[in-house]
Chain A
Amino acid sequence: MSVFIKHYRPCGLVSGFNNKIWRYNSTTADVATSKNEEDEEFRVLDILKKRDRQQRRVARRADVQPDRADRMAVDQNWGNVWPGPKSFHPSSVPLPLRQGYVPRGQAPPGKKANAELMKIPNFLHLTPPVIKAQCEALKPFCTEWPKLLNSEEAIEKHYPVEIISSDYCHASPSIRNPLARIVTLRIKLSTLNLDKHAKDKFIRLVGDRYDRETDLVTITADRCPVKKQNLDYVNYLLTACYHESWNVEEWEKDKTEDDMEYYDWDKNASKKSLVNWYLRTKNENRELTDEEYVAFDISEIPNGEEYKNAVSNYLNDGESEVTVKNYAKSVRKLLGLPEAKVVT
């Protein structure tokens, strides 16, 4: 039968394998005869059962056909051969693949009986022609993309609300997954129509759901059992927060300068001193009320705007090299002092 096998596997691999089998049989025969001789003299305790393991015969079938990869036409449609995702199988893939770790200077093991190739997920089912064909097949189900939504900015402008939810697909009798109920809503705060007070209140209402750096408000709901309910709930939350932030309560008027969450230069002593100083330099000696101080237009003071910004930044953004330097610069400009010389 060996001829037959050889004929069927033209790669010559089998004939080598055959030789090995023959050699193997003869060695086991030798072992058997020597064992008989040994038996008479001394019995050896064979803990690892090395002998038995050696003698186990490998039953091999003779009529195994060659790999179907050998018979594949060069111009075949690969999508027909490998239509869906599955683990690698050497006899169906007509590629001389090699994979695995070996010491330097050796070739990695071939594709047959190679666990390394089977472990990794392959994308043999998603070759470019297959993707193209599948896209063509799916086209009849697709509608045209709205023409005016031609850029990211346009999409963001017209569809500011983003809903994120997950669907799960797994092999089990149940198609339900508790994680699928979670719904997340994201929106840029700048797209909401809020004034200064409402924005402040909105941020206070949503708390840590607002990210100052990206300007995104993220609302996640998972308290209801079904996705639809959670979706309704996040929409409700957003609506409620929005309208609530526009409400002005009676007690909000009691807010004093001490309650301010940021430094408002117009209402602080810094402006008072600046105005006073300015008036004195013009030799006017007026007594101003608090409202007058606030309403005072500082654009008539040379370099006053710059000074205002420098002071506000210094107090709002915190003390840093830049803010301190800016402050120094604006004060020099305001007082007409020369630029600081950098001593090196």
Chain B
Amino acid sequence: MYSNIILPRQWSRIACFCRLSTIEGQKLPQSGKSSDGISPPPRIPRGPTDILQALAATVGPDPTAAHYKYHDDPYLIPLSNYRKRAYALSAEAGRKAAAWIRDEHASLFNTREWDPPSKLKTPYYNADPIIDAFEPKPIYNEESKVTEEDLKYTINNALLDDSIKIFQLLGGIENISEETKLALLQFLCFYNEKEPDSMEWLEERWFSANVRERQLATWKLGGLADKIFASIEPKTPEAYCAVIQGMAKHYQAERAHALSQEAIEKGIPLSTEVFNSLLACVGFLREGTALRAEALKGLLTQMGEQGLSPNEETLTACLRSISSWGGGKMLQELALQVVAEFKQLGIQPGLSAYYYLLCLFCKERGPRIDILSGILVDLENRENLDAKEPTDTNFFITAMGVCSDHLQDINMAERVHALLMKGDNYKLVGDAYKESIYYRHLVTVACRHAPFERTTELLDTLVPNVYVPEPSVMEEIIKTLEVAGAGERLAQAWSQLVVFGIAKRVRLVERLLSAMSSTYEYQTEEVKGKMRDAAADILKFGKIAENEQNAKDLRTPVQKLSANAVSNIVELCSDVKDTADANWDAVSEGIQRLKQSDATGVPSRPQALADVALRAATAGKLGIAASAVQYLAECGFEEAVPASIQALGAVLNRPQEEVETLLEKQRADLTKAVHPSALALVDAYYLAKTGAPAREADSSTSSDSDSESSSDDE
């Protein structure tokens, strides 16, 4: 029960020995040092968590470990995006279930039932001090007796549905005080009468796919907020501020502006925040850039007339409006003008302001404008970046997108990344969706423009614990690996494909195979072996997937590898000297698959298969050689003839000319002269030469059986 027992020794000092009762040391000197060399110096003031934070700052990131919300165990570390999401949300589902039980059976947690006789129940909390967040949440329904205190509680804890219910139970507008009415109005306006996502469920917020917010007028006209506002008499400035901000926030721009004009006419003072929200939706009032810009300036001057000084949010709101009106020279100039003017007032643009500037200047199909470097210089000089607005989390993903698509500059990307990793700036990455897009941009730009060593270093730290590449990024990575000729990493890439759950993407696998076959010849023997194993495994994996499809009767059919890919596998696997090597099985299976037209299309490099036939013949795998040549002949490739001659030459250990003269003879003569398994090669030769098998229709079956018997021989 008691994990740590600490025995502090406190020394209380005795001033003079004869008088014990006055213990000195309570009167502390004010200098940093001990005043007389004996009494303790004054305590350095610190917050309750300062020590913990100082200790936590000594721990850096560990690239080999998964996020700490997952179990540190090979069986439980998620390696694909799907698993990451599933594991984290499962854990949260457990927490939610526990919270549900706590709320449903609250009496089990906050009352104590005494033993008979009277079955007395008394309130009891086992927690000391009581932690409000862990207490059962009250449940309100039609029967519950509520007071205004309950309403205040729900408003303070952002329980919107409950607060509306209590409001109704209390009997509507008449029965609550003005103060609570205002609080409720502000609450309703902020959330637009929609229950907000709970702050308690971090994983749900992290993984919820935040689609970009649509700019639609979602304000509930004639809703409860409007009714409460109408009932407030006389209308206070706070009520006006709340309603105007709520309308502006939910894009009811015209009414918001009308109300603001009304308030100004009545001489009701409005706050800076009201003007900020009006500025953010000023574009909805007018059409056309020039008129909108004019309206924006008009609002700003109105603000000045009211005697309000702008703040950082004002700048952000202006830039937000400007950036949402499209692009163009004029708007860009306007934006710069606004920023310059605010800088004169001593207001530095925040992350959101920079985000809108990037949106405005770095259009996908626009001219390349490098405003990011200036922004980075400014941000790098700041002590720490604080999140002030929800849009602040858009900055890093946009900046990285600009580095990747617009500037295509790896140095800039690395600067952005360094800034994100500085201090605790990583909290500005947003959510899982934004994080993965951020890393997609980073990895893409690194693959395209960074030196290979830096790319691999980056990949090693990011993949798979921080970021799991999507198929498109994986393709980019494979391309980079191919250019660099990194065979070992290509072989590794296959296992990564499997682990990341994207091994069934045929396009990706084909890309990988062609990369492997084009880099194969430059590798060392050891790496070659690994690549062969990977290639054989690809074939096996496809087979398993097919079996699974047949067994489970899946809706989406498993795509088949193309003939090109299969011939790549065959080519890779056949490069073995040892006749007993397991890879020969993969070769024969690959050729079998080609012959049964289990693969789409025909190979683009028939010479590769011809080489395979020769190698197989040299290794004594006559069946494989025969079926390879036969496949070539069936497909009508010219390479079939020389291939069959070469293979026969290798089998019979004779020079080519001799083989050619031998093949001139009748087949019947050959049957006696040549080993039956070699006959299949001869058949293939005739097939290629004449377009028809030399023997009758049964030849194909016999050749099949021949090949089987030959493989049995070995």
Q: Which of B42, B46, B55 has the most CB of A within 10 A?
A: B55
Residue B557, interface by CB 8 Å: no
Q: Indicate which residue in B9, B23, B57, B129 contacts A175 across the interface (CB closer than 8 Å).
A: B129
User: Would you call B58 and A79 a contact (CB within 8 A)?
Assistant: yes
B390 contacts A by Cβ under 8 Å: no
Candidates B10, B43, B74, B129; contact of A143 at CB < 8 Å: B43
Cross-chain contact B65 with A65 (CB below 8 angstroms): no
| B1 contacts A172, C-beta separation under 8 Å | yes
A76 to B59, CA, bound (A): 12
* Shortest Cβ gap from B63 to chain A (Å): 9
B2 pairs with A144, CB closer than 8 A: no
Known contacts A71-B64, A91-B73; decide if A173 and B127 are in contact (CB<8 Å): yes
B7, A7: Cβ atoms closer than 8 Å = no
A164 at the interface (CB under 8 A from B): yes
Smallest Cβ distance from B245 to chain A, in angstroms?
Answer: 40
Binds A, one of B309-317, B513-521, B534-542, B635-643: B534-542
Contact across chains for B1 and A65 when beta carbons are under 8 A apart: no
B5 to A65, Cβ gap below 8 A? no
Inter-chain contact total with CB atoms closer than 8 Å: 179
A109 contacts the other chain (CB 8 A): no
Q: A196 interface residue, CB < 8 Å from B?
A: no
- B116: chain A residues at CB < 8 Å are none
Interface residue? A138 (CB, 8 A): yes
**CA gap between A175 and B131 in the complex, in Å:** 11
Q: Does A67 contact B (CB under 8 A)?
A: yes
- Which B224-271 residues have C-beta < 8 A from chain A? none
Contact of B39 among A66, A146, A239 (CB under 8 A): A146
Stretch at the interface among B13-21, B290-298, B356-364: B13-21
* Contact B73–A163 (Cβ < 8 Å): no
Are A65 and B79 neighbours in the complex by a CB distance under 8 Å? Answer: yes
Q: Using A61-B75, A141-B54, A162-B9 as known contacts, say yes or no to A149 and B536 having CB atoms under 8 A apart.
A: no
Which one of B43, B54, B75 has the greatest number of beta carbons of chain A within 10 Å?
Answer: B54
- A137 / chain B contacts, CB cutoff of 8 Å: 54-55, 57-58
Chain A: minimal CB distance from B67 (Å): 13
Are A92 and B65 neighbours in the complex by a CB distance under 8 Å? Answer: yes
Asked if residues A146 and B12 are in contact (CB atoms below 8 Å), the reply is no
User: Which of A153-161, A260-268, A281-289 is the contact stretch?
Assistant: A153-161
In the complex, the answer to whether B17 meets A143 with C-beta atoms within 8 Å is no
Partner of B13, one of A77, A158, A172, A235: A158
Partner of A159, one of B11, B34, B540: B11
B578 at the interface (CB under 8 A from A): no
- Measured in the bound complex, the distance between the Cα atoms of B670 and A86 in whole Å is 76
Contact among B9, B34, B73, B75 with A146 in the assembled complex (CB-CB below 8 Å): B34
The main secondary structure of chain B at its interface with chain A is: loop
Q: Is the pair A163, B537 in contact by a Cβ cutoff of 8 Å?
A: no
Interface pair B23/A235, CB less than 8 Å apart: yes
Residue A278 at the B interface, CB < 8 A? no
Q: Are B46 and A4 in contact (CB under 8 A)?
A: no
Shortest Cβ distance from B76 into A: residue: A64
Find A167's partner among B8, B40, B58, B74 (CB 8 Å cutoff). Answer: B8
Q: How distant is the Cα of A134 from the Cα of B38 in the complex, in angstroms?
A: 27
Q: Is the CB of A163 within 8 A of B12?
A: yes
A157 and B101 CA atoms in complex are apart in Å by 60
Given A144-B32, A168-B4, A91-B65 contact (CB < 8 Å): no
Closest to A61 in B: B75
Task: Chain A residues near B1: list those with CB within 8 A.
Answer: 170, 172
Measured between beta carbons, the chain A residues less than 8 angstroms from B499 are 63, 65
Chain B min CB distance to A239 (Å): 5
User: Are B65 and A3 in contact (CB-based, < 8 A)?
Assistant: no
B126 and A173 contact, CB distance less than 8 A = yes
**B144 interfacial by beta-carbon distance below 8 Å:** no
Q: Which of A66, A81, A134 contacts B65 (CB 8 A)?
A: A81
The proximity string for A residues 164-189 relative to B, scoring 1 for CB distances below 8 Å and 0 otherwise, is: 11111111111111000000000000
Minimal Cβ-Cβ distance residue in A for B533: A3
CA distance A6 to B537 in the complex (A): 11
The one of B54, B77, B498 that contacts A4, using a Cβ cutoff of 8 Å: B498
Query: Are A64 and B75 in contact (CB-based, < 8 A)?
Result: yes
Question: Which A residues are in CB contact (< 8 Å) with B541?
Answer: 1, 4
Contact in complex: A68, B536 (CB < 8 Å): no
Question: Residue of B at shortest CB range from A143?
Answer: B41
Say yes or no for A299: interface residue by CB 8 A criterion: no
- List the B residue with the shortest CB-CB distance to A144: B33
Q: Does A43 contact B (CB under 8 A)?
A: no
Across the interface, do A242 and B75 meet the contact criterion of CB distance under 8 Å?
Answer: no
- Report B-chain residues with C-beta under 8 Å of the C-beta of A138: 51, 54-55
Is A159's CB under 8 angstroms from B13's CB? yes
Whole-angstrom distance between the Cβ of B121 and the nearest chain A Cβ: 20
> Which of B6, B7, B41, B536 touches A144 (beta carbons < 8 Å)?
B41
- How many B residues face the partner with a CB closer than 8 A? 70
The residues in A between 54 and 93 inclusive whose CB is less than 8 angstroms from any CB of B are 61, 63-68, 71-72, 76-77, 79-81, 83, 89, 91-92
- The reply to whether the CB of B216 lies closer than 8 angstroms to some CB of chain A is no
Task: Kindly state whether residue B3 has any CB partner on chain A within 8 Å.
Answer: yes
**Of B23, B32, B65, B79, which is within 8 A of A63 by CB?**
B79
Whole-angstrom distance between the alpha carbons of A168 and B39 in the complex? 28
Given the interface contacts A1-B540, A173-B126, does A144 sit within 8 Å of B11 by beta carbon? Answer: no
B61 within 8 A of A: yes
User: Does any Cβ of B come within 8 Å of A124's Cβ?
Assistant: no
Tell me the residues in window 109-147 of chain A with beta carbons closer than 8 Å to chain B beta carbons.
130, 133-134, 136-138, 140-147
Which A residues lie within 8 Å of B79 (CB)?
63, 65
A8 at the interface (CB under 8 A from B): yes
Q: Is the CB of B17 within 8 A of A191?
A: yes
B495 within 8 A of partner (CB): yes
Shortest beta-carbon distance from B76 to chain A in Å: 10
B126 and A174 contact, CB distance less than 8 A: yes
Q: Binary interface profile of B, 524-566, with partner A (CB < 8 Å = 1, else 0)?
A: 0000001001101100110010000000000000000000000
Which residues of A have CB within 8 Å of B60?
A: 77, 79-80
A159-B14, A174-B128, A235-B23 given; A67·B3 CB < 8 A: no
**Chain B residues within an 8 Å CB radius of A65:** 74, 77, 79, 499
Shortest CB-to-CB span from B512 to chain A, Å, is 14
Chain A residues with CB below 8 A from B495, complex form: 4, 7-8
Looking across the interface, which residue of chain A has its beta carbon closest to that of B501? A63
Q: Are B74 and A170 neighbours in the complex by a CB distance under 8 Å?
A: no
Q: Does A221 contact B (CB under 8 A)?
A: no
CA distance A83 to B72 in the complex (A): 13
User: In the docked arrangement, what's the CA distance between A314 and B617, Å?
Assistant: 114
Can you name the residue of chain B whose Cβ is closest to the Cβ of A72?
Answer: B64
How distant is B41 from chain A, measured CB to nearest CB, in Å? 4
A335 beta carbon closer than 8 Å to chain B = no
Closest residue of chain B to A169 (Cβ to Cβ) is B4
Is the C-beta of B37 less than 8 angstroms from some C-beta in chain A? yes
Interface residues of B in 166-210 (CB under 8 A from A): none
Distance A142 CA – B3 CA, assembled complex (angstroms): 26
A67→B54 CA distance, assembly (Å)? 31
What's the nearest-Cβ distance from chain B to residue A266, in Å? 28
> Is B115's CB within 8 Å of the partner chain A?
no
What would be 12 A-B contacts, judged by CB atoms less than 8 Å apart?
A3-B536, A65-B74, A76-B62, A89-B72, A138-B54, A141-B46, A143-B41, A163-B11, A174-B128, A191-B17, A193-B18, A239-B20
> Which residues on A are within 8 Å of B, measured CB to CB?
1, 3-4, 6-8, 61, 63-68, 71-72, 76-77, 79-81, 83, 89, 91-92, 130, 133-134, 136-138, 140-149, 155, 158-177, 191-193, 235, 238-239, 242
Give B contacts to A, CB under 8 Å: 1-14, 17-18, 20-21, 23, 32-34, 36-44, 46, 50-51, 54-55, 57-62, 64-65, 72-75, 77, 79, 126-129, 131, 134, 491-492, 494-495, 498-499, 530, 533-534, 536-537, 540-541, 544
A-B contacts besides A137-B54, A163-B10, 20 pairs, CB < 8 Å: A3-B540, A4-B537, A65-B74, A66-B74, A80-B62, A130-B58, A141-B44, A143-B41, A148-B38, A159-B14, A160-B17, A161-B23, A164-B7, A167-B8, A168-B2, A169-B4, A171-B3, A191-B17, A192-B17, A238-B20
